[in-house]
Amino acid sequence: MSAVESTPPARRGRGRPGNDQAAVLRAAIELFTRKGYDATSIGDLAKELGVTKSAIYHHFESKEDLLRLALDDALGELTSVVESASRDDRLSAYERLREVVRRSVEVLVSHQPSVTLLLRVRGNTAIEQGALERRRWLDDRLADLVRAAVADGALRADVPANLVSRLLFGMVNSLVEWLRADGSYDARTVADAVTTIAFDGLAIERR
């Protein structure tokens, strides 16, 4: 269920027990998120894991390599959610949007460490710039779906579409701030809550 389980299997198997590639990537994601990517060195990571720097270079070419894999993990999952919903011709724009929101929440819960890192990226390096560009592509697809659902008459037209997509993903992304600390909800409960609040609304009486 953690971010590192989706690293390509082909890269595994060179590690020593307990300090294999997956564990190094997991520790790197945690350290990048806690200390910031710029402030973290391979030496810091080695110290955190209690191994030598060369043990890390055994698995990864560079710090950039670790960042790229971590961000690819989060972006790959989120991109796949958007692309698979877009391909399903049986669904209306509204149903696709609802599906994208639901499945994004599930990705966020199951890949929380790498998504948290993705959301903290500020674009200081080429890899971060590339990740921000892929995030903007995802945001644009979501805004397209909102506009299409409004055009179909399935979504209310009195809230600007760009504001809707910002707030929808704002609510989804806010999960990284508290979900781990809380720990008492599974992915399905949280996905149900987000989609119910956003699409059906909390109020029982319509106004």
Query: Binding-site residue total for its own copies (CB under 8 A)?
Result: 40
177 belongs to the binding site for its own copies (CB under 8 A): yes
Cα(112)–Cα(136) distance, rounded to whole angstroms?
A: 19
Cβ closest to its own copies, residue 131 vs residue 168 = 168
Cβ atoms of 195 and 99 closer than 8 Å: no
- Strand ranges (DSSP E) for 81-149? none
Judged by CB under 8 A, the residue of 17, 61, 183, 205 near its own copies is: 205
Judged by CB under 8 A, the residue of 27, 117, 127, 175 near its own copies is: 175
Cβ neighbours around 122 below 10 Å, total: 11
Q: Which of these ranges, 10-18, 56-64, 129-137, 195-203, lies near its own copies under the rule CB under 8 A?
A: 195-203
198 belongs to the binding site for its own copies (CB under 8 A): yes
167 belongs to the binding site for its own copies (CB under 8 A): yes
Cα(21)–Cα(14) distance, rounded to whole angstroms?
A: 8
Judged by CB under 8 A, the residue of 69, 121, 145, 194 near its own copies is: 194
Kindly state the tokens that stand for 97: 């949007």
What's the half-sphere exposure (Cβ side, CA atoms, 13 Å) at 136? 8
